Every structure is written in C-alpha cells, then in structure tokens.
Structure 1
Amino acid sequence: MPHDLFRRRTTDHSRSLAPTLGDRLGRLLRPGWARTDAARRIAAAGLVVVAFVLFVRDNRGDIGEPAVVAAHDLTPGHVVTSDDVRTTARSRADLPDGSVDDPTAVVGRTVSSPVRAGEIFTDVRLLGPRLAEAAVGSVDARVVPVRLSDAGLAEFIREGDRVDVLTVDGSRAADTSQPRAATILASGATVVLVSGEQQSGPRRDQVVMLALPAPEASAVAAASLTDAITVTLH
C-alpha cells in the first residue's frame, strides 16, 4: 500500500512538471489576476485615446474659421474702410456661401445693401460681378449706373426692387403736338444700389445701379448718355 501511494504521488508530480497541451491552453485562456488588471488598464487607456480622437474629429468645424464681419451698421453706397470691418472666428456650419475671410477683399468696396453690426460679409453684399450674377441669375450679367430724369423717383426705389427701364423717342422732340413715344430698354432689372444725393449742376441727382443681362445693360448704358431715362416699378 505505501508503495502504491508513493507511485501515485510521483506520477502526479511528474504531470505537474510536464503539463499537457490542454493545461497550457487553459493557462493562456485564464490569465492571472495581475495580467488581467494590466489588460484592463491598457484597454481603458485605449478607449480614452479613441474617444479623444473622435471628439477632435467631430468638432474641428467648431474651433472656428476666419470671417470678416461689419464692425457697425453700414448703409448702401458706403465705401468700406478698415475701421468698418473686423475678423472673427465662426463655426464652419455658421458660415454662409460666399463668406469673406480676408479684410483686404472688402476694404475699398461699395456696400450694396444694409449690413448690420456683426453680420458676415459675403460676395453679394458688395458691388461686383458676383452681385450682378446673383441678382440676374446669369453669369452674363452687368451692373449699370443710371441717372433718372425724375430725380424724385429715386426716393421711392429700394435695393431689390424690380423695374423696367424706359426712354423716349428723341425724333419727336421738336413736335410738341404729339406725345413722345416711350421705348422699353430693359424689363425686370434688379435695383442693387441707390446712391445718396449728388450735386449735378443746379439740381441734386441720385444714381441708381441696375443689374441686367449684358445686351440690355449695353443698351441702357448707351441710351443714358443722350436720352432721358426713367423706370416703372413692378
């Protein structure tokens, strides 16, 4: 009996010194407490890093993009100076199409419509080709300045109004017995700016800037050199 007990103990000890493949896999699948704690710490650190990367990626647009805004209220016809603008950071989602990010692109330009303090400047807030394109809906658009024969009419016209441009037939100027025929030079012109009063000889005139397709703009510009120009409002 003692001999059998010694053999059993010797066999068990030999097995512990020479573990089987199953024992080895079991140890790998069941790591010790220290190894488990370290793995949890590493996993937690990895999750923190991933969360930070996702946060930065999702909020890059909220860090701010440069935008040029009005330092105070501006009126149509005002020529922008460096004191009229400031640069600020705005969320990318808050920037409108055509926003301006460089003050030098604004200074010296003429404001085409009222601008509130803090409002972001866009390409259609300033006189230029993009304004004509936006007003007419065509890349083939021009802005034409005209002086109306009836200076008082300009007081009733506002930016954004749609007007027809007319002139009169100069051939009947000498015949006062018949009314002078009106000729429509352009239909549906968009008023983009009404300037302040300007002294022109004995009277004070206002210049009205109209956005028109190129052919009609040329006709209006040519007629304004020699004929009286007026408009009718839609």
Structure 2
Amino acid sequence: MTLLLPGWHRTQFLRRIAAAALVLLALLLFLSPKSTISVATTSRAIPAGQHLSAADISWRNFPAELIPAEAIQKDKHAESLSAPDIIGATILSATTAGEIITSARLLNESTAAELLGSPDATLVPVTLLNKQIANTLRHGDTVSVVTSATDGSALIIAAGARVVAVQEGATLLLALAATEANQVAAAALNSPLTITITQR
C-alpha cells in the first residue's frame, strides 16, 4: 500500500516512520538502566584544613561517566564510613556541600612531593606569630618562613615553601625540602616565626 502512494506522500510517510523510530529509541535509552558508582560527597561546606568526620560525608550514586578518576569510590575504598583513608583525612581546600571528594583534595603521603616537585619534600607544622596572616593563606601558596636575627632584623630561614593546609590556632602545614624543614623545626623551638607570601 505504501508503494502506491504518490512520491510526496510516500516521503512524508517514511519521515513519520523514521521520527517515530527515533522517539522510541530515545525512550528505550532513557528507561534503560545506567551504570552508577557510589562516591563520597561532602554533606556540608567544609573549611580548608579540617579533618573529615563521618558527619561530613555522604555516599551518593552518580553515572559512571560523570565521576572524576580521583573520586573516592565506596567499592574501591570501603564498605563503611570507618575507612581510614576518609575519616580523619585533612581537606586541603574549602569545599561546598554536595561536592564529590577526590583524593587530590585530601592530604596524603605524596602531597608534599607533588607540591614541591621533589621526592625528598616533607611536611612541617609552623605556628605563626601573627595569626591574622593565616586567614589570608590557601592551599598551594608559596611562602618564605621568617624569624628574627640576633640584631632584630628579619631572617629568612626557608624560601619556596608551599602551603599544604591552614589548621586551627594559626598553624600552617608547609611542604619543604628535608633540609629546610629541619631548619624551620629547629628555629621554631627558640623563636617565633612568621611568613611572607611570595606567590599565589
């Protein structure tokens, strides 16, 4: 019967058939089950430098193609919120509620080496004399650590340090080369320290 229709009518008929087939295909794709993965997300806004607690984390399912490669996946990391690589981990930069937590946002054993680009980099805590400065710092800032010389002048004891996290009490966690880290730790025992920001 279709073949007996005039050319224009036959073309319109075939177009309608094709359109209906596309709609049906789209509907089937929409209704078909999608592969999802359970990942850790923030249940609230979390400031930089804070240690994650169970209350900070929610597990949510996302389509596999939308999940970052470094996302903390439940199947890969833990079956419960007691996973040591999540609970107690330090957030390096502030988050908003609902963000997917990635390993790059958490302090780990390679953080110092990645920031400095040096395998011998290490972490050292520094409590600042001027606590207001801590509020201006963020993860990744480059700073110099400064103390007072015997004549009262400023003395730089470490340059090129990278801010890893700002913690409570104006304490910074800095990434430094091993030699400079030892110098900073020794200086902190005898005199107050401050920093100057050299690059953001």
Structure 1 residue 225, shift from structure 2 partner: 1.6
2:100 — aligned with what? 120
1:168 — aligned with what? 148
TM-score, normalised by the number of residues in structure 2:
0.68
Residue pairs, 1:1-234, within 5 angstroms: 63-101=35-73, 102=77, 103=81, 104=83, 105-169=85-149, 172=150, 179-196=151-168, 198=169, 206-234=170-198
Whether contact under 8 Å (1:129, 1:141) holds in the other structure is: no
Structure 1 residue 228, shift from structure 2 partner: 2.1
Distance 2:56 2:134 in 1: 27
Whether contact under 8 Å (2:93, 2:138) holds in the other structure is: no
2:21 — aligned with what? none
Structure 1 residue 98, shift from structure 2 partner: 2.9
Distance 2:100 2:120 in 1: 26
Structure 1 residue 167, shift from structure 2 partner: 2.0
Per residue, is there more helix in 1 or in 2?
A: 1
Does the residue aligned with 2:87 lie in a helix, a strand or coil?
coil
Whether contact under 8 Å (2:48, 2:91) holds in the other structure is: yes
Distance 1:146 1:73 in 2: 26
Cα deviation, 1:36-64, whole Å, max 9, x if unaligned, reads xxxxxxxxxxxxxxxxxxx9xxx99x612
Structure 1 residue 68, shift from structure 2 partner: 1.2
Distance 1:143 1:96 in 2: 27
Count how many residue pairs are aligned between Structure 1 and Structure 2: 160
Point out which structure has higher relative CO (alpha carbons under 8 A, 6+ apart). Answer: 2
For 1:142, the aligned partner's letter is: T
Structure 1 residue 220, shift from structure 2 partner: 1.4
Task: Among all aligned residue pairs of Structure 1 and Structure 2, give the percentage whose two residues are the same amino acid.
Answer: 32
For 1:214, the aligned partner's letter is: A
Cα deviation, 1:153-192, whole Å, max 9, x if unaligned, reads 22332333211112223xx3xxxxxx43433222121112
Does the residue aligned with 1:145 lie in a helix, a strand or coil?
strand
Tell which structure's C-alpha radius of gyration is larger: 1
Distance 2:112 2:36 in 1: 30
> Does the C-alpha gap of structure 1 residues 136 and 97 become closer, same or farther in structure 2, counting only changes over 3 Å?
farther
TM-score, normalised by the number of residues in structure 1:
0.59
Structure 1 residue 148, shift from structure 2 partner: 1.4
> Does the C-alpha gap of structure 1 residues 133 and 69 become closer, same or farther in structure 2, counting only changes over 3 Å?
farther
Gaps of 5+ in 2: 1-28
Whether contact under 8 Å (1:123, 1:130) holds in the other structure is: no
